[in-house]
Amino acid sequence: MRTCELRGWLLNSVPMNDATDLLKSVRDTSNETEFYTPFPDGYKTGKTKYIAVFGTVMSGLGKGIFSSSLAKLLKDKGLRVSPIKLEGYLNIDSGTLNPFRHGEVFVLDDGMETDMDLGTYERMLDQDLSRHNFTTSGQIYSTILNKERAGGYLGRDVQMIPHVTGEVKYRLRELAVQTDADVVFVEVGGTVGDIENSFYIEALRELSYEEGEGQVLFAALTYILDPPALGEQKSKAAQLGIKRLMEYGIHPHLIACRAEKEVGEKVRQKISIYTNVPVTRVFSMHDLPSIYLLPGKMRQAGLDSEIIQMLGLGGRVNSAVEMKNAAQWEEFAKKIGKADRTVTIGITGKYVTLRDSYASIIKALEHAGVTNDVKVDIRWIETTEITDANVAEALAGVDGIIVPGGFGVRGTEGKIACIKYARENYLPYLGICLGFQMAVVEFARNVCGLAEAGSTEITPDCTDPVISILPEQKKIEGLGGNMRLGGQEVTITPDTIAADLFGGAEHIRQRFRHRYEVDPRYIEQLEAEGLIFSGRHPVHPIMQILELPHGTHPYFVAAQFHPELTSRPLRPQPMFVGLVAAAKKQPKS
């Protein structure tokens, strides 16, 4: 008997107290049955539907973009959706990953450091996620091993099936309960055939079996080759990739074909024949000027209607809400790339050879560009070789610059040179995290006369550590050796640029990821020379926004937090809006 069937039989046939005890036994051990299906308290089979998204052929196809766009269409219909990313690596989170290897680290409001795809979900869905929306193999294995050491399996040999796959299913169902989701979107990281994600695939096959027909929908992303020498699109690699998925027992209901150009009808027919997926559900996910155009393409192809029908969600759709949301998004999307004016923003960083390192900044600039009715052209500027002698040449032609976050020594002096140039030449400037700290160092050196000012992260024994880790701050924040992570309150000083940007708000909440602070011993001296700390911790002497006064510079603002993490298409982040607006006013040479 399946565990879900056993659960129903117990609840209907046994007194409630006895049934609860028996269910707990089934949940906690698999001694008496080979079925191991842990159910979180409050879970109701059939209430939540699941859509699982897999990648084939190659990585980097855009599973997060596809999944989040599909989730947005369902949310627009009034459904409650909740995504989860299942990562195959053994790290507990993404915090220690080098941006060159895995793109940016996206920090959630609760402080969880995650894969960049969580940023895609937050922006597309306009909703904050939590650590429950992100799982790694390291988390799964740690939970199981800790439970085994505590005797949680009552003598059973702990195995990949059913215990590891059972833990995966439990987390999916737990997310369903916690978020009261109509649909949980499950994105499996990596590519089908990778050893590290195979247990996730098996868990989803089991989930489909246990939840029953019409409860779980499988979607596969594949890649259509278009060799220039052949002059036609080829689908063989896609066919073999999907065949590999089917060998796991996963038969897709929906297929998205990634390609540079729109996938032709004949290729879609071939994919349909080889997979038993109707051609109406074989979708051409070709390159677009912006990912924000994808939901509209999906709606035109009728994918949302197909899903509603397959999952039996028609009774939960709110047509009035859908019309309003679709019109609002269409109004935003039709402005993308249509502006006549272009501004050039330089991103002066140390990871610029991999654009994904700054994914959220790129999207925040896109949001701000639409708001300001301009196209934003990004110029990537590596700071490692920049000095005071060549900075003018490096920044020639840009209308504004961003100095983004980062860790370590490399490239910091180049960033300081860029900041000095922006301050002295009235070039709009936005500093983020390390960009905030380096702005303090630059101002201390070149305005306050503290020639040896620095950060103890970069120069531990510097004469004037205007940026440092302070023992009292460690104690205040309870940080120890860890970073200050996640959402924190910021108090805004009235009658400042920051106050104008945030609509006169006295308090805002932003996301942080840093260890080092402005040393309070230098605050009075910095302010006496004209630097304004317009955002502070509500209680402690922790500086969180700085600016130059109204009228002294077109736009010189920096934040200790990461404003890019909270920018949304329909709610652009004010600090980026301000930067692009100032850049738009720059005189053209």
The catalytic position among 433, 442, 457, 537 is 433
Report yes or no: 115 and 137 within 8 Å, Cβ to Cβ: no
CA nearest neighbour of 589 among 423, 425, 403, 368: 425
Name the catalytic one among 87, 104, 322, 564.
564
Closest to 357 measured CA to CA, from 68, 63, 119, 85: 119
42 and 304 Cβ atoms separated by less than 8 Å: no
- Go through 317-347 and write b for each residue having 16 or more CB atoms within 10 A of its CB, e for each that does not: beeeebeebbeebeeebeebeeeeeebbbbb
Q: What's phi and psi for 303, nearest 5 deg? A: -65, -40
Smallest CA-to-CA distance from 429 within 531, 541, 537, 543 is with: 531
| Distance, CA of 559 to CA of 534 (rounded, Å) | 10
- CA–CA gap between residue 35 and residue 75 (Å, rounded): 34
Active site residue 562: yes
Angle at 576 between CA 573 and CA 580, to 5 degrees: 140
Q: Which of 437, 52, 47 is nearest to 252 (CA)?
A: 52
Residues 182 and 314 sit within 8 Å (Cβ to Cβ): no
From residue 446, give the alpha-carbon distance in Å to each of 296, 314, 420, 431, 529: 51, 65, 8, 17, 11
Q: Distance between CA 384 and CA 361 in Å, rounded?
A: 20
Whether 428 contacts 575, CB under 8 Å? no
Cα–Cα distance measured from residue 308 to residue 316, given in angstroms and rounded to the nearest whole number: 9
Identity of residue 213: E
| 3 state SS of 519 | coil
Q: What gap in Å lies between CA 197 and CA 79, rounded to an integer?
A: 29
Task: For the sheet with 183-188, list strands across it.
Answer: 134-136, 81-87, 183-188, 49-55, 216-223, 254-259, 282-286
Q: Which of 253, 367, 553, 562 is catalytic?
A: 562
- Encoding tokens for residue 141? 């294995």
Does 227 sit behind a cis peptide bond, omega within 30 degrees of 0 on the bond before it? no
Report how far residue 452's alpha carbon sits from residue 218's, in angstroms, rounded to the nearest whole number: 59
Contact yes or no for 182/50 (Cβ under 8 A): no
Burial class of residue 180 in the structure, from the number of CB atoms within 10 Å of its CB (0-12 exposed, 13-18 middle, 19+ buried):
exposed
CA distance 313 to 209: 19
DSSP 318-339: -HHHHHHHHHHHHHHHTTTT--
Q: Which residues are catalytic?
A: 433, 562, 564
